[in-house]
Structure 1
């Protein structure tokens, strides 16, 4: 295929941020009397509209609520994520896309101010030609809205877009948008069952434009 746009997810793909939150979830649930692993909830990472699933899991695991979990971990998470390095292959792919004249997009459930601050530290925020967050669309991943809006802003047909994702909901969103998708699972999602037929890599260093 001709690649007109390269579209990144953020959490778990550009930085290893999902591991931080996942480890805190495991620690909290353990203190509340249950043992869980990434395999018990990794499939939910990548979707910001999964609260009802989390509520059911928390009730089953330890009789606690999502509100209690969020109150426990959310004061801790942001500071731990602030200084994370870019994952291997991110900067190389951005450089390669620019050299090839390929537009670069970012589609994420994160907030724009957070992205500007964290990516700005690495000098790459301004290298994205279009950024779409959950606040910009009606539906989050696994709905295609975020990726379709990225393509619209980049003025590239969805069929000419290559999406890089670490999560199952993110891959489903890219597929639903009619885009080619490559999965690069994080440590949290590596055990998950990804959609049949998509390419899977262990590192972004393996991706070639």
Structure 2
């Protein structure tokens, strides 16, 4: 990673994506879908699934329908989701650095929310099972808005619920889709890539990209120390 531009000011709130950012869940769900596809004999190369990262359920389903047809998609999603929900309700692991960052923000009384493409109530159940639900003032999901990411709706909703101006919010995201949503909301995104390495198109968005949540925390620390 190249040197990252400092943040201009102390944020009034920090809004987190969930899958691939708070929870190490992207690998889990893609593996569940890959296994279900293999059981059905669906000819889908492993890397194809990466194109679903950051997208809402309806878009992912449409991608599968185009690839393998409606009956096979319905069967695959039923099998894959059943496996994934069992894993999620047992508690998915955190991404590295999550607890340290949340502790720091709580210490400095920076309010936090989640804005996720996962639907409700599954999002709340996943956070609860991972021991994170109580850390957030609000959990905003794709069930709560008209348009999922990359539309800004879920991020704007999180800002309204927090009572904070969108321009004063820092967003932590792992996917380019989520970064586009945050930028469209007028917020300041910091991307912490997980499975997807930002390509030239993603980098052209001009946002901050860091290697870890620890590096994202380092961008926040100078402003938190001012109070």
| TM-score category of the 2 structures, normalised to the smaller one | 0.7 to 0.9
2:79 matches 1:72: yes
Q: Which moved more, 1:5-14 or 1:118-127?
A: 118-127
- Structure 2: how far apart are the matches of 1:64 and 1:168? 30
Larger proportion of helix: 2
Change (3 A) 1:8 1:66: same
TM-score (norm 2): 0.80
User: How many residues were matched structurally?
Assistant: 204
Could you say which structure has the greater relative contact order, defined with CA pairs below 8 angstroms and 6 or more residues apart? 1
2:143 matches 1:150: no
SS in structure 2 of the partner of residue 106 of structure 1: strand
Please give the per-residue CA displacement for 1:64-122, whole angstroms capped at 9, x wherever unaligned: 74213212312211111222122111111111112222111110122444344433345
Q: Is the 8 A contact 2:171 2:187 kept in 1?
A: yes
2:208 matches 1:199: yes
Q: Is the 8 A contact 2:156 2:185 kept in 1?
A: yes
Change (3 A) 1:33 1:85: closer
The equivalent of 2:143 in structure 1 is 135
Could you list the structure 1 runs, at least 4 aligned residues long, displaced by more than 6 angstroms after superposition.
none
- Structure 1: how far apart are the matches of 2:126 and 2:210? 25
Q: Is the 8 A contact 1:132 1:146 kept in 2?
A: yes
Structure 1 spans left out of the alignment, 5+ residues: none
Q: Which moved more, 1:42-51 or 1:86-95?
A: 42-51
**Superposition map of 1:30-179 within 5 A:** 30-31=38-39, 32=41, 34-38=43-47, 40-48=48-56, 49-50=58-59, 51-59=61-69, 65-82=72-89, 83-179=91-187
TM-score (norm 1): 0.86
CA RMSD of aligned residues (A): 2.3
Change (3 A) 1:67 1:116: closer
Q: Is the 8 A contact 1:174 1:180 kept in 2?
A: yes
Q: Is the 8 A contact 1:47 1:141 kept in 2?
A: yes
Q: Is the 8 A contact 1:145 1:177 kept in 2?
A: yes
Q: Is the 8 A contact 1:43 1:168 kept in 2?
A: no
- Structure 2: how far apart are the matches of 1:99 and 1:78? 33
The equivalent of 1:14 in structure 2 is 22
- Structure 2: how far apart are the matches of 1:45 and 1:124? 22
- Structure 2: how far apart are the matches of 1:96 and 1:151? 20
Change (3 A) 1:174 1:129: same
